[in-house]
Chain A
Amino acid sequence: MKIIDKKQLAPEIVRFIVEAPQIAKKAQPGHFIILRYKENGERIPLTIADYNREKGTITLVCQGIGKSTYEINRMEVGDSFLDLLGPLGKAYPIKKLGTVVCVAGGLGVAPLYPKAKALYEAGNRIISLIGAQRKELLIMTEEMAAISAEIHFSTDDGSFGHHGFITEPLRQVLAREKVDEVVAVGPVPMMASAVKVAREFNVPVVVSLNALMVDGTGMCGGCRVTVGGETKFCCVDGPTFDGAAVDFQELLMRQRYYQEQEKEAFYRCKLEEAGQE
């Protein structure tokens, strides 16, 4: 659980390589972990962004958007996470399909990468489409480029690549050629749009959901999502689901349930930090 490498990928986005031999041994694309970094900390789910079975390490990418993730990002090489549980969730089944379009928004590249890499290693042709708010928030571009036959970028502010949402390049690719599957990972609105576009072209679309959860083992049911009209638990039934069947509207509302508390906690955390300086 010791951090052996830390790299700042973008403002407030940090990549950690963590010693976790037991988890690395079992990790597969689609799996996640739950970590607690200190005694009174939350249980935070993070996707396993990569793993090295020989070295016994896993890679985690964390974006500091609230108190816990902000504080995690201030941990250094040599520090240890207090608790690390995993691998959790169902592995994403890797098949040779043909051409797969991998669409990522923002931090979504981290959970997407192990899937894309495994699909590539299974002989699929990968077209990667990566979007972010602005150029400096585009992460893991080299890793993605290395496994992609084609890679395109978009930024909301036009600072790099296509000016606009990543769904627009997606539409162009799907209009241009036959695609066997779309894998979309990112913020809920982005995944919802990517699913809509893929469905217009009748291409199967897979998404990876990041519902709020506590234990990550099926015990609390806090991560329930409606998929195909049925309630599923993101932690044990997912986190990978058939995008066409997911109720994104509900997911988005559920993700926002603790917004006020999260803001309060983050505000206090920043105040304390300011007080210490």
Chain B
Amino acid sequence: MRQQMPKQDPAVRRTNFDEVALGFTAEQALAEAKRCLNCKKPLCVQGCPVEIDIPQFITLLVAGKPDQALAKIKEKNSLPAICGRVCPQENQCEKQCVLGRKGEPVAIGALERYCADWGRANQAVESTGDPAGAVKEKVAVVGSGPAGLTAAADLALMGYQVTLFESLHAPGGVLRYGIPEFRLPKAIVDYEVGNLTKLGVEIKTNVLVGQTVTIDELFALGYEAVFIGTGAGLPYFLQIPGENLNGVYSANEFLTRVNLMKAYLFPEYDTPIRIGKRVAVVGAGNVAMDAARTALRLGAETVSIVYRRSRAEMPARREEIENAEEEGVVFRLLTNPVRLEGDERGNLTTMVCQKMALGEPDASGRRRPVPIPGSEEELPVDTVIVAVGQGPNPILLQATTGLALNKRGYIEVDPETMMTSIPGVFAGGDIVTGAATVIAAMGAGKKAARAIDRYLAAKKEAGK
């Protein structure tokens, strides 16, 4: 039987920021690893965006060699402690697992996490590469989120001199500012970033490429190639009346105040946050769940998810929805905010919502929510957190002449070479695809690193 990962009790965890899922014990990991059939043609690997040799690492785990299991994972994935926690395995490797056809798939994600955590606890040698090898060209990586971290690590392992540029004061991108401590402890992000510096990657924080330095200037500084992994960081709002009232946050702002600036420790930390008694989070993706669960931990009495479609269409991982429900988050489904109202001081008081029904499928294949006439209702609220997605940040895109964008405003790349319209400039992750998952961005970073290697090798060859 599939092992269940122990978790903090919901009543306790909703009052603290400690990690919710506690990880397998050694016994659990062994028992779970033994479930793997070690298929000759492993489908799980096909489901992994970074092609980890899953049966191999599990076999090593069964053999009692967690160090080697971790090394096997790290051949393909430079951030296993992070992926083991935040990857949607149920849609990837575990979805393909043969055991899942009749029963429950192997808990691959939990095993990956186990190996990574074992490595962190036991100071295993982390690097599988040869940073002392031939020193190749200088490559600039812009953005230190999952795509940038992966591209930087892979390029460093190939022997390139990598500089990673980050606009915030701490690296990690969404892993730092977006995903909360209780789902991804920041000590793990620090550890994984630390491994990167051990590989020889130079990290420069407080550099906003496009403003502090342009892409052209990076080439002038001697970088031979540039990878753009700036993500989808511009928050969308609902475009309804009252959205600029005090108490309305974008999920980005709310989570950044808490995760990056540690506003939950105010006044020990200087950045404030205000949380009312009644909080509504608009949207039902992973970011919405993170915001709702964070609001509970900040002391809100009631936290609702307000979503215009039904349960079946909620984009969040099932696990995160369950976690939120267990902690007491209320789900107001088929409910769409139409306007926000406030008092004379500009403070939010009410969210006026409309009930929805599901109509015919729309372009996304999901049934389109249709308003029910006369169904308006008032929801008293002190805080509203808007978590309806993000778009591309315009700064770098506007500052870079000749960079072709697609209709949605994201960077256009050759799907094979990951190169943009500017020779030597590559891009990957959310800034190309629009908001997606950590692992998809990592897959793109990995692919781009290989493409940059091919490009620079060919350039060198041509120059001879």
Contacts and interface: CB of A to CB of B under 8 A. Distances in A.
Interface stretch (A54-62, A78-86, A125-133, A172-180): A78-86
Interface in A83-118: 83-88
B169 A82 contact: yes
A268 B267 contact: yes
A41 B250 CA distance: 22
Contact of B233 (A67, A219, A262): A219
Interface string B253-277: 1001100111001111111101000
Contact of A221 (B213, B246, B253): B253
Contacts, number: 122
B256 A220 contact: yes
A86 B212 contact: yes
Chain A interface residue number, banded: 35 or more
Given A68-B270, A82-B169, A250-B346, A88 B244 contact: no
A47 to B, nearest CB: 15
Given A83-B206, A85-B212, A43 B261 contact: yes
A21 B96 CA distance: 53
Interface string A137-175: 000000000000000000000000000000000000000
B212 A224 contact: no
A32 to B, nearest CB: 11
B271 A42 contact: yes
B395 interface: yes
A231 interface: yes
Contact of B272 (A26, A218, A258, A268): A258
Contact residues on B (Cβ < 8 Å of other chain), bracket: 35 or more
A215 B212 contact: no
A222 B254 CA distance: 9
Contacts of A276: none
A75 interface: no
Interface string B8-23: 0000000000000000
B169 A85 contact: yes
Contact of A220 (B235, B244, B269, B274): B235
A218 B394 CA distance: 8
Contacts of A82: 169
B272 A214 contact: no
A52 interface: no
Contacts of A88: 208, 211
B298 to A, nearest CB: 13
A40 B212 contact: no
A136 interface: no
B186 to A, nearest CB: 13
Contact of A40 (B249, B252, B270, B272): B270
Contacts of B169: 36, 43, 82-83, 85
A265 B246 contact: no
Given A22-B207, A257-B247, 17 more contacts: A36-B169, A83-B205, A85-B206, A85-B207, A88-B208, A88-B211, A214-B257, A217-B233, A217-B395, A220-B252, A220-B253, A221-B250, A253-B346, A257-B274, A258-B274, A262-B272, A265-B270
15 contacts: A23-B212, A40-B268, A83-B169, A85-B169, A215-B256, A219-B177, A219-B393, A220-B252, A220-B256, A221-B234, A221-B237, A250-B346, A256-B345, A257-B247, A261-B266
Interface of A: 22-23, 26, 36, 40-43, 67-68, 82-88, 214-215, 217-222, 224-226, 231, 236, 250, 253-254, 256-258, 261-262, 264-265, 268
